C-alpha cells in the first residue's frame, strides 16, 4: 500500500466517526459528500490532522473536519479550556469568562457555542450581544474581574478563515505556564466529553454598558485636548473593512472632540464575505482604495482603517505633491511613540517612572527617541502578549505609556492588554491635528522625525516554503545561519550576533547572555553601519521571515526619496548576501 493510500485510509476512518449522531445533519452530509467523492483531495485536507490549538488558540479554514474551524473543534477547545480554568482556579467560587466575536461567517455561532459549554461547566459567561473589537474583549476581562476570555476572530485573514483567541485574567493572550497547560487539556478532550447543553442562568449578555466604560478608558490615551479643540474640523475618513470598528471608532473620535468624521459607507456593512476587498487586511494597499477615493472627494487630511477585529490599523496621509501615501507599520509605530514622548514631556506629563515597549523586529529609532527623552525602552518578542507581560510585571510601580510592533499594531495606554486600533486611531488623529496646528501634514511630521533622529528604512521579506519539505527546509536554513552566520551584509561587517534560541549574543567577538523571559527561534545581526537584520520562522504560516532595517543619509526633507532609493539598493545587496 502506497503512502497516499495509507493517508486516504486514515482520513476515511477518521471521517466515518463524523457520521455518528454526535454530529449534526449538515455536518454529516458534508462529510459524506467528501467520502463519496472519487477525488479525495478535500477529504485529506479536512481530516489529515487535528487543527492545532497553539499558544494563541485556533485559526483555520471553516468547514467540516478535524483540520477545520467548526462547532465541534471549537467545542473541544472550549471544553479543554474550561477544564484548565477549573484546575488553575481550584477552590475559587464564581468563576467567570468573557466571550466576544467579530464579523466573520459563523462567528456568532462559535461564540454562542463557547458560552454554552463554559456555562455547562459551571462557569459564568459574559457574552457580548454582537460583534465587538478585540481590544474591548481584553478590556472587559479586566473590568469584570473574569478569569479568562475567548474572542472568535481570524483577525485579517481571508474570508474562508475563522479563529479562537484565548485570554487570561490579565486581559492578555495566554503565556507560560497557562499556554501549555491549556493545550494539554484541549488535546485530551474527545467529542463525547464536550458539554454542549448550556446553563442559561450562567450566561449574561453584555454590550452598551461595556462600550461606555471602554470609550472612557480609550479617552485616557488623549494627550492634548487643546490641540484637538483648535483642529476639531480635521477631515477624517475611516473604514472598518466590514468589521468591528464600525461603531466604536467613530464614537471614540467624537468623544475626543473630532467633528468631521466620514465613513466609507460600502465598508460599514457587516459582512463576513468582505465583498469590497480582496483581503480584509489594512496592510494591503488594495484594501484602502475606497477610503482614498472618498478622501479625494472630501479633500480629507487623512484616511484610516482598522482590520475586521479592530486590533490593527492603517494610516494614509498626503505627500508634498498631494498624493496618498500609506504608512508602513514601523512608520506608524514611530509616529505614535514620537508624539507620546515629545508631547507628554512638553506638557509635564512625564514623572520619571514611565516605560515603552517595542518588539525586537520593530524599528530601533523608537528606542533612540525614548532614550533621548529619558524614558526606559524594553525589547520583547513578536506578539502583543509579550508587551502585555511587561505591563503586568511593573503594574503599580512603573507606568506603561506606549508600545507596538511593525505589523500595524499599537497600544497607547494600559487599560487594554492587546493591540488597540480605536485608541491608536484617535491618537493618530490627535497627532494629525497637532501637525496641522504647526503647519505640517502627517507626512511632514514623519520627515521631521527622520531629520531629528536619523533616516531608517525597513523592508520585510517573506520566503514561502510549503508542505513538510518546506518546513524541513526552513529548519535547515535556520540551522545553517546559526552554524555559519554572515560576516558582512550590504558591504558592512557584522559586529553583533544575537541568538534567541541559545539566549547568547556576540558583540565584537565577546560573548554574553541575552536577558529574555524565554527562548525563541530568532536570529539577529547588526552591522557596523547600523543595519539590523532579524530572521525567524513564521509561527502561523509556512514562511521564513526576514526583517531588514538600514540607516541612511537624509540631510534635508527634500532628500527623502533619494534616501529611500539608496536604502532599497542596500536591501537588495543584503538579500543577495543572504541568498534570497
Residues acting as catalytic residues: 155
Phi, psi of 93 (to 5 degrees): -90, 160
Helices 365-372, 442-453: crossing angle, 10 deg rounding: 70
Q: Output the nine-digit C-alpha cell for 227.
A: 490641540
The answer to whether residues 76 and 191 touch, using CB atoms and an 8 Å cutoff, is yes
The answer to whether residues 56 and 96 touch, using CB atoms and an 8 Å cutoff, is no
Neighbours of 504 (CB within 10 A): 13
Could you tell me the end-to-end alpha-carbon distance of the chain, in angstroms, rounded to an integer? 39
Cis? peptide before 439, omega within 30° of 0: no
Please give the Cα distance from 140 to 283 (Å, whole number).
Answer: 27
Helices 178-187, 71-88: crossing angle, 10 deg rounding: 130
Please give the Cα distance from 277 to 240 (Å, whole number).
Answer: 12
Please give the Cα distance from 164 to 100 (Å, whole number).
Answer: 10
Please give the Cα distance from 42 to 34 (Å, whole number).
Answer: 6
Q: Output the nine-digit C-alpha cell for 254.
A: 467624537
What are the start-end ranges of the E strands in 226-267? 236-239, 261-263
Please give the Cα distance from 427 to 341 (Å, whole number).
Answer: 13
Please give the Cα distance from 543 to 562 (Å, whole number).
Answer: 31
Residue 216 burial class via C-beta count within 10 angstroms: exposed 0-12, middle 13-18, buried 19 and up: exposed
Neighbours of 560 (CB within 10 A): 19
Question: Dihedral sign, CA of 7, 10, 14, 17?
Answer: positive
The answer to whether residues 357 and 377 touch, using CB atoms and an 8 Å cutoff, is yes
Q: Find where cell 486581559 sits.
A: 171
Please give the Cα distance from 208 to 129 (Å, whole number).
Answer: 9
Angstrom distances, CA of residue 571 to CA of 49, 209, 217, 577: 39, 50, 41, 10
Q: Give residues with Cβ within 8 angstroms of 523, minimum separation 6.
A: 478, 481, 482, 485, 497, 498, 499, 500, 501, 534, 535, 536
Using alpha carbons, select from 162, 43, 39, 169 the residue that is nearest to residue 98.
169
Q: Output the nine-digit C-alpha cell for 432.
A: 494629525
C-alpha R_g of the chain: 24
Phi, psi of 460 (to 5 degrees): -100, 130
Amino acid at each position: 500500500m502506497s503512502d497516499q493510500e495509507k493517508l486516504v485510509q486514515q482520513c476515511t476512518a477518521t471521517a466515518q466517526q463524523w457520521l455518528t449522531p454526535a454530529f449534526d445533519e449538515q455536518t454529516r452530509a458534508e462529510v459524506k459528500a467528501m467520502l463519496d467523492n472519487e477525488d479525495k483531495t478535500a477529504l485529506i485536507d479536512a481530516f489529515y490532522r487535528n487543527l492545532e490549538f497553539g499558544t494563541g488558540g485556533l485559526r483555520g479554514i471553516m468547514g467540516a473536519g478535524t483540520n477545520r474551524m467548526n462547532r465541534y473543534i471549537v467545542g473541544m477547545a472550549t471544553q479543554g479550556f474550561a477544564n484548565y480554568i477549573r484546575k488553575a482556579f481550584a477552590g475559587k467560587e464564581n468563576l467567570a469568562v468573557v466571550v466576544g466575536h467579530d464579523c466573520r461567517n459563523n462567528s456568532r455561532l462559535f461564540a454562542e457555542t463557547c458560552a454554552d459549554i463554559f456555562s455547562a461547566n459551571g462557569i459564568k459567561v459574559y457574552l457580548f450581544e454582537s460583534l465587538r473589537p478585540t481590544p474591548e474583549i481584553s478590556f472587559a476581562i479586566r473590568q469584570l474581574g473574569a478569569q479568562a476570555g475567548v474572542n472568535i476572530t481570524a483577525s485579517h485573514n481571508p474570508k474562508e478563515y475563522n479563529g479562537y483567541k484565548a485570554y487570561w485574567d490579565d486581559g492578555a493572550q495566554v503565556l507560560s505556564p497557562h499556554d501549555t497547560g491549556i493545550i494539554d487539556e484541549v488535546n485530551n478532550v474527545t467529542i463525547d466529553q464536550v458539554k454542549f447543553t448550556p446553563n442559561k442562568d450562567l450566561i449574561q449578555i453584555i454590550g452598551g454598558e461595556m462600550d461606555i466604560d471602554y470609550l472612557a478608558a480609550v479617552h485616557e490615551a488623549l494627550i492634548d485636548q487643546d490641540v484637538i479643540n483648535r483642529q476639531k474640523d480635521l477631515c477624517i475618513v475611516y473604514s472598518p473593512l466590514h468589521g468591528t470598528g464600525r461603531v466604536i471608532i467613530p464614537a471614540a473620535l467624537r468623544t475626543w472632540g473630532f467633528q468631521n468624521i466620514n465613513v466609507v459607507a460600502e465598508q460599514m456593512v457587516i459582512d463576513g464575505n468582505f465583498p469590497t476587498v480582496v483581503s480584509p487586511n489594512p496592510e494591503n494597499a488594495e484594501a484602502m482604495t475606497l477610503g482614498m477615493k472618498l478622501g479625494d472627494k472630501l479633500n480629507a487630511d487623512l484616511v484610516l482603517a482598522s482590520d475586521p477585529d479592530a486590533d490593527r490599523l492603517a494610516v494614509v496621509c498626503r505627500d508634498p505633491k498631494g498624493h496618498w501615501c500609506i504608512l508602513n507599520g514601523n512608520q506608524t509605530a514611530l509616529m505614535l511613540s514620537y508624539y507620546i514622548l515629545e508631547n507628554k514631556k512638553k506638557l509635564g506629563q512625564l514623572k520619571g517612572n514611565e516605560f515603552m515597549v517595542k518588539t525586537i523586529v520593530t524599528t530601533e529609532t523608537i528606542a533612540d527617541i525614548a532614550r533621548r527623552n529619558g524614558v526606559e525602552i524594553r525589547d520583547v518578542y513578536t506578539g502583543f502578549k509579550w508587551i502585555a507581560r511587561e505591563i503586568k510585571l511593573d503594574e503599580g510601580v512603573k507606568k506603561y505609556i506606549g508600545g507596538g510592533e511593525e505589523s500595524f499594531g499599537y497600544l497607547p495606554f494600559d487599560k487594554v492588554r492587546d493591540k488597540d486600533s480605536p485608541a491608536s486611531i484617535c491618537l493618530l488623529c490627535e497627532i494629525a491635528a497637532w501637525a496641522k496646528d504647526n503647519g505640517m501634514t502627517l507626512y511632514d511630521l514623519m520627515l521631521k522625525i527622520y531629520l531629528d533622529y536619523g533616516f531608517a528604512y525597513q523592508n520585510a521579506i517573506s520566503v514561502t516554503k510549503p508542505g513538510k519539505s518546506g518546513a524541513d527546509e526552513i529548519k535547515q536554513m535556520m540551522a545553517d545561519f546559526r552554524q555559519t552566520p554572515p560576516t558582512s551584509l550590504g558591504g558592512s561587517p557584522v559586529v553583533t550576533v544575537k541568538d534567541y534560541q541559545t539566549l547568547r549574543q556576540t558583540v565584537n567577538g565577546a560573548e554574553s547572555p541575552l536577558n529574555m523571559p524565554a527562548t525563541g527561534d530568532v536570529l539577529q545581526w547588526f552591522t557596523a553601519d547600523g543595519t539590523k537584520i532579524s530572521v525567524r520562522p513564521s509561527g502561523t504560516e509556512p514562511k521564513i521571515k526576514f526583517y531588514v532595517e538600514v540607516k541612511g543619509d537624509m540631510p534635508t526633507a527634500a532628500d527623502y526619496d533619494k534616501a529611500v532609493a539608496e536604502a532599497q539598493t542596500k536591501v537588495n545587496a543584503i538579500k543577495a548576501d543572504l541568498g534570497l
